[in-house]
Chain A
Amino acid sequence: MTGAAAATFTDLATIARGAVDTALQRGADHADARIVRRAEERLTMRDGVLASADAPETCGIGVRVWKNGAQGFAAAPGSHRDLVDLAAGVARRAVKIAGDVAPLRRDPVRLAGTADACGAFETRCVENPFLVALEDKRDLLVWTDRALGGRREVVARLAEIRIAREEQWMATSDGGATHQVLVQSGGHIEATSSARGVVAKRSYPHSIGGDFRSGGFEVIRAMDFPGNAERVRDESISLCHADVCPAGERTLILGGAQLALQIHESVGHPLELDRILGGERDLAGGSFVSETDVAEAVEGAESSLRYGSEYVNFIADSTVPGGLDTRGFDDDGMPATCFDLVRSGRLAGVQSGRASAGRLGARSSTSASRAAGWHAPPIDRITNVSLVPGAAGTLEDLISDTEDGAIFADTPGAWSIDQERRNFQFTCEVAWEIRGGRRARLLRLPTYQGSTLPFWQSCDAVAGPESWALYGITTCGKGNPMQSAAMSHGAAPARFRGIRFIDVKRS
């Protein structure tokens, strides 16, 4: 085992500052250092037993430098005891890499703005999730599991809760020094049933790994897993007996959980500036939005890109309470912010980090640069991007105001979109055909296709603030090598006209 000189947590800001100083002494033009310590707790109940109980922790330092117009990044793990010995060496390695790759740069990296913010941020928690007794967490899962069972059609039951606490110390060569404590809590439940040769799954409150918020254990209590388990179970059984959603062109009402993914894929990603500039073309892809579109949007031109109908407004907000990307500063050290992405249907802004904003010639970034941890260099990232609520009342108001034959669908099942974020296909977990202003026939595998701009332009109603909620995405993959990030998307149910459905069983 390795031994090392002792350091206290209060020293970590000094260690980060020391790494930056070393990089500058070694010839870096700019530098920043991030020390990140992350602890999680994951409890997973499957089919009546606690199938997985896991408590991962990591801590390490990442140093990023710019020298001769090129970036270098190095990172190493270490406990708070031995980071003091590691930091200078990591900084030296980062500077060497920048020097090695600089001859390949065609155009020097220009960083927009100044990362001189100093301050602290801490997620507000009503109930510290790490102080809730493990027995209470287990019992919550046991009760939920029991409620998910009791019917012979159920072939798999799953209930999971996860909590995370991430503490970050960052120093920049612009004089920035920040400290953040970010806490996230959440989970999900699932029932999988089998009947008539059909296997169907139903999830709550979200699929794709569950729903999460920044906050404490109060987030998990509010999800009320035991109170929703029987409904989830019964819907999974009913789906086994349901018809496949038929093909054709119909009106579509999307629920908030599905809208969150629709926003993520067709608004969040195409409005990341690094994608627009070609920096992601090697794996995830580019964007149908052009540099000209961005320039017009930033200038506030009234003729900027028509992204959606007049009912469509999107904001990017890394300050909203409960958001998974709600924090004080991004990983470039820039203060969190809130701004319009789409205003009354027109493109109004994009999400950027300092490097992409600099390439565009902008004065500053929009604080959207994040890394997957201490071991990864930051890249432009979707923040909490939300559809602003409209005036169409509740979900039931929206349904009652919609013609027979329309479809209400919710909860992501499968999704796919092209590399420029234009042509998409989504399958939801569940749908109902609307008859007489109410949900009528249950349908499975509802699958709709579309193209981003016509889709959002077809939106003619968005439900009101009373139906608006944040939904967490915890598995957003981007970068090469792939980095995972979390963010939230707020939405109230919305209605879209003339949407093409396909029958995936007869396609």
Chain B
Amino acid sequence: MALLEQDHAFEIADALIDASEADETEVTLECVEDRFIRFSADGPTQTADRESYELAVRVRFAATGGGFREARARCGGIDEETAFGALGRALTLARIATDLPDAVPLGGPTEVPETSPSRPTQDHSFREKAQWIRAAQERADADDLAPAGLARTTVASRSLANSAGRRVFGATSRAEFSLTCADRTRAAGRAQSSAARTSVHTYADEIDADLVAQDVAASAVRGREPSPIDAAPMDVVLAPPAVSALLTWLAAAGSGAQELAEGSSFMSGRLGEELLDRRLSVVDDPAHPRFAGWRFDGEGYPTLRTSLVASGQLVGPVTDARWAARLGLANTGHAMPQPSAAGPRSSALVLEPGETDEEQLVEAIEDGLYVRGLHYVNLVDPQDLVLTGLTRGGVFRIRGGEIAEPVENLRFTHSLVDAFRSVIGVGVKLERQPSLMGGEVVAPALALRDFRFTSAAPGASS
């Protein structure tokens, strides 16, 4: 299976739109090719060479009192029987739906920037991925470490067409090489020290497997025999993966207009306030060079670069057509696929870089911690973005402005709002990082004052 070309995608959509009995019909079609090798100390454990389609048909009947009744059906194939089966199910569901009085008509023709995957990423083979893994195995062997990780490339195309004449199409790619190296020296083969790093780029040729392996192995070796440490508020330097794990929740729970209106967002009642440190600016920017993501949303509106926080001041949420109309805001093009009970959401969050390199951030701290990554970060209280999670993949004491001995993991429970009021410095170098809980963020390192560690996490590998 090859990625669907634009004309083919629109041909399928037009056939369904023409056949639909609904007053409005929208067809989205996503095509994904995915290849990966997962590996552990024994070598590859799982692989996959797979493709998938998701064809979604959304239909709407005009409601007598204004607005629409609507429903959607999806299928995993593009053959005629499967696609028209989805149309039939959507029509059946829409006939029993309740009226949506404030539903706005589907948008008409619009322009979105072209995006495309690179051919080398699309053609990246299993043997090439095996070379990445071999680099990790050799480096790990040299330091008596057990490697585990993932080598993966994905290419995808997405189109949306509707009965109002909208036709948008895009294609993108993603390459990932993640590596965890764990110390083999613990009794019964279990690890005492471990380090991890994930390298995510739009194109496969941007992955430097040797560099990843070198960095992870060096950190794992340096992290051997960590010392116990008591939990207390401490100054920290958070490396970009740790910053991303926190910011993922700002995107998921705090950036959307629905949460703002319901009062659960940290922005609720605070728009215009200079709530955070002036050195912090947060935007949603799918066109950022490190993302190269989708340039249109679940309704086919162009996804605009949207400022959420400008120099510490809360600017506003991301919106979709429904919530923009309801709140009298501009539509920023952040709709989920419709219909949906979920509101608009940021999907390409960027914390703007500062002017300080990571070494200088460390030098600014007399006594604190350097945290390479965070694990299992979850949302405790959305109103102040209170988060909890643990350090993982390397945590080191900072003494006198220098990275010193490794320490055992700690749990934090801290308000992201409070943390972002207590900024010591903002790093200059940006990284794109995924989160265990989903989503990706582009962020630099941050130095923060009095980060609230609330308990030790003894026994967990560093």
Which residues of A pack against B, CB within 8 Å?
1-4, 41, 44-46, 48-60, 62, 70-79, 81-82, 93-94, 96-98, 100-101, 103-107, 134-135, 138, 142, 155-156, 158, 160, 192, 194, 198-199, 274, 277-279, 281-286, 288, 290-292, 355, 359, 375-377, 379, 413-420, 422-423, 425, 427, 445, 447, 449, 451, 479-482, 500, 502, 504-505, 507
Q: Which residue on B lies nearest to A94, using beta carbons?
A: B49
Whether A481 touches B96, Cβ cut-off 8 Å, given contacts A55-B74, A286-B190, A447-B380, is no
Question: Which listed residue (B79, B89, B146, B386) contacts A4, Cβ 8 A?
Answer: B79
> How close is A347's CB to chain B, nearest CB, in angstroms?
14
CB of A104 within 8 A of CB of B39, answer: yes
CB of B98 within 8 A of CB of A449, answer: no
A54 to B89 Cα, complex, angstroms: 9
CB of A105 within 8 A of CB of B190, answer: no
B215 located at the interface, meaning its Cβ lies under 8 Å from any Cβ of chain A in the complex: no
A314 to B31 Cα, complex, angstroms: 43
Cβ–Cβ < 8 Å partners of A425 in chain B:
388, 411, 413, 454-455
A504 to B461 Cα, complex, angstroms: 26
CB of B379 within 8 A of CB of A414, answer: yes
Q: Tally A-B pairs: CB < 8 A.
A: 307
What's the dominant secondary structure at chain A's contact region?
mixed
CB of B460 within 8 A of CB of A49, answer: no
Cβ–Cβ < 8 Å partners of B281 in chain A:
none
Cβ–Cβ < 8 Å partners of A70 in chain B:
43-44
CB of A138 within 8 A of CB of B457, answer: no
Question: Which listed residue (A292, A375, A376, A414) contacts B188, Cβ 8 A?
Answer: A292
13 new A-B contacts, CB < 8 A, other than A55-B73, A104-B134, A416-B377, are A57-B73, A57-B86, A73-B46, A97-B126, A142-B98, A158-B341, A160-B341, A279-B45, A290-B187, A375-B52, A416-B376, A416-B378, A420-B461
Cβ–Cβ < 8 Å partners of B340 in chain A:
51-52
A100 to B378 Cα, complex, angstroms: 39
Cβ–Cβ < 8 Å partners of B48 in chain A:
73-75, 375-377
A46 to B102 Cα, complex, angstroms: 13
CB of A419 within 8 A of CB of B98, answer: no
**Most chain-A CB neighbours within 10 Å: which of B80, B133, B376?**
B376
A3 to B85 Cα, complex, angstroms: 15
CB of B460 within 8 A of CB of A82, answer: no
CB of A73 within 8 A of CB of B262, answer: no
A70 to B178 Cα, complex, angstroms: 20
Total contacting residues, chain B, CB less than 8 A:
108
CB of A57 within 8 A of CB of B40, answer: no
Cβ–Cβ < 8 Å partners of A107 in chain B:
42-43
Q: Which residue on A lies nearest to B413, using beta carbons?
A: A507
A39 to B383 Cα, complex, angstroms: 37
Q: Which residue on A lies nearest to B459, using beta carbons?
A: A422
Cβ–Cβ < 8 Å partners of B40 in chain A:
277-279, 281-282
B344 located at the interface, meaning its Cβ lies under 8 Å from any Cβ of chain A in the complex: no
Question: Which listed residue (B93, B134, B180) contacts A53, Cβ 8 A?
Answer: B93
One of B106-114, B148-156, B222-230 at the interface: B148-156
Question: Which listed residue (A50, A81, A505) contacts B81, Cβ 8 A?
Answer: A81
13 examples of A-B residue contacts, CB within 8 angstroms = A41-B93, A93-B49, A94-B49, A104-B44, A105-B43, A138-B96, A282-B39, A282-B179, A288-B459, A290-B187, A291-B188, A375-B50, A419-B390
> How close is A248's CB to chain B, nearest CB, in angstroms?
14
Question: Which listed residue (B52, B74, B90, B182) contacts A281, Cβ 8 A?
Answer: B182
